[in-house]
């Protein structure tokens, strides 16, 4: 019998939309898992947080939040076969920055559609600029690179999902320590501006890769042990995961043993406030994930299930067992999502 922690970013809808969205859902298994519990708690996220609630939870769970901020870089590097070498490493995400009249915004990295071939060419172009200032750049996957910058330790940078769609003025690192970073960003932006990769992308009506986002500073400290699996998750999570999946098919093995499973299916829709797609995706999760897990729990194949749900503003945890599911007097409801 397994003990499973299921992390579901953005399954908590934002308060202003929650009542209507919950009424639109037909998810009896999820309702039973959320209602018939042995424990549950909910907490609000501080307005000044540089990471979303589920990202903060994951950092604490994996033991990579030494200063209270998520420090994922070193743990993620190891998953790509890279050695953190005892220095301070940052995650670098190639990005598209949209320039508006009064502010700039970063587009959702999930929609960038950057191929491995394109990414490697842009990486090879940017790497010498980084090497010139003594900061080695390493390649993880198309969306996930790593930069060593021991002298930049102390730069507080928000996670990409925290800043996506927001005014970057509120999140760009400032101060004397951040000046070399901003200088490097400017040089890379100029290099990529007329790069053939971007010319070809724009010809296909794809967004140009015109900048990068740097965050997640960490030294070589190892993350806490424990199985971690990821479904539809960003590259930096895949780097830390023991197993990763592009969809829910085939994850039975991850659900048959102790461990944490992060399911990022809802992130794109929630961040874009595309609530119609969000409802459809929750219904898919009900069929492919919540209903099978509820059956396994009732039948005793899963001993304990913990659900970690989040929105941009809050985090909620629910723990249930086969015994808790026998609390027939508790009518299953989705009200705890609101």
Q: How far apart are CA 122 and CA 128, in angstroms?
A: 11
Q: What is the pLDDT along the chain (338 residues), one digit of tens a residue?
A: 689 999 999 999 988 999 999 999 999 999 999 999 999 999 998 877 899 999 999 999 999 998 778 999 999 999 999 999 889 999 999 999 998 777 899 999 999 999 999 999 999 999 999 999 999 999 999 999 999 999 998 898 999 999 999 999 889 887 788 999 999 999 999 999 999 999 999 999 999 999 999 999 998 877 878 899 999 999 999 999 999 999 998 888 888 899 999 999 999 999 999 999 999 999 999 999 999 999 999 999 999 999 999 999 999 999 999 999 998 888 999 999 99
Contact in structure between 109 and 166 (CB atoms under 8 Å) = no
**Separation of alpha carbons 333 and 315, rounded Å:** 18
Under DSSP, the state recorded for 212 is E
**b/e per residue 190-205 (b: at least 16 CB within 10 A):** eebeebebbeebeeee
User: Structure tokens of 47?
Assistant: 């307005």
Sequence ranges of the domains in the chain: 2-49+226-337, 64-218
Shortest CA distance to 149 belongs to which of 106, 192, 85, 95? 85
How many CB atoms neighbour CB 337 within 10 A?
21
Looking at residue 150, the DSSP 8-state letter turns out to be G
Global confidence as pTM: 0.94
Cα gap 297→277, rounded to integer Å = 28
**155 to 15, 71, 167, 249: CA distances (angstroms):** 32, 12, 19, 39
Q: How do strand 137-141 and strand 314-321 relate by DSSP bridges?
A: unpaired
* Residues with Cβ within 8 Å of residue 60, at least 6 apart in sequence: none
Under 8 Å between Cβ of 304 and 277: no
Q: What is the CATH number of domain 64-218?
A: 3.30.70
- Residue 41: both structure tokens together: 């708690």
Q: What residues are paired with 260 via a beta bridge?
A: 5, 228
């Amino acid at each position: 019998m397994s003990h499973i922690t299921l992390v579901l970013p953005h399954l908590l809808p934002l308060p202003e939309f929650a009542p209507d969205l919950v009424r639109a859902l037909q998810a009896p298994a999820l309702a039973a898992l959320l209602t018939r519990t042995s424990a549950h708690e909910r907490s609000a996220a501080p307005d000044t947080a540089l990471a979303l609630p589920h990202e903060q939870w994951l950092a604490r769970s994996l033991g990579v939040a030494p200063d209270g901020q998520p420090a994922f870089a070193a743990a993620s590097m190891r998953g790509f076969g890279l050695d953190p070498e005892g220095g301070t490493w940052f995650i670098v995400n190639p990005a598209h920055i949209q320039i508006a009249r009064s502010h700039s915004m970063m587009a959702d990295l999930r929609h960038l559609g950057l191929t491995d071939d394109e990414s490697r060419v842009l990486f090879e172009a940017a790497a010498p600029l980084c090497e010139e200032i003594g900061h080695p750049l390493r390649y993880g996957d198309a969306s996930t690179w790593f930069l060593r910058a021991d002298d930049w330790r102390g730069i507080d940078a928000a996670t990409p999902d925290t800043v996506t769609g927001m005014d970057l003025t509120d999140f760009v690192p400032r101060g004397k320590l951040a000046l070399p970073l901003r200088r490097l960003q400017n040089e890379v932006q100029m290099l990529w501006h007329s790069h053939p990769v971007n010319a070809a992308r724009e010809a296909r009506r794809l967004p140009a890769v015109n900048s990068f986002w740097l965050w997640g500073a960490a030294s070589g400290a190892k993350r806490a042990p424990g199985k971690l699996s990821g479904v539809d998750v960003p590259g930096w999570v895949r780097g830390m995961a023991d197993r990763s999946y592009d969809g829910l098919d085939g994850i039975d093995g991850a659900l048959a043993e102790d461990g944490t499973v992060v399911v990022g299916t809802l992130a794109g829709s929630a961040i874009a406030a595309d609530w119609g797609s969000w409802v459809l995706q929750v219904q898919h999760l009900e069929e492919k994930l919540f209903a099978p897990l509820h059956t396994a729990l009732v039948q005793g194949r899963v001993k304990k299930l913990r659900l970690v749900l989040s929105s941009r503003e809050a985090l909620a945890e629910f723990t249930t067992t086969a015994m808790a599911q026998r609390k027939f007097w508790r009518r299953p409801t989705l009200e705890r999502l609101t």
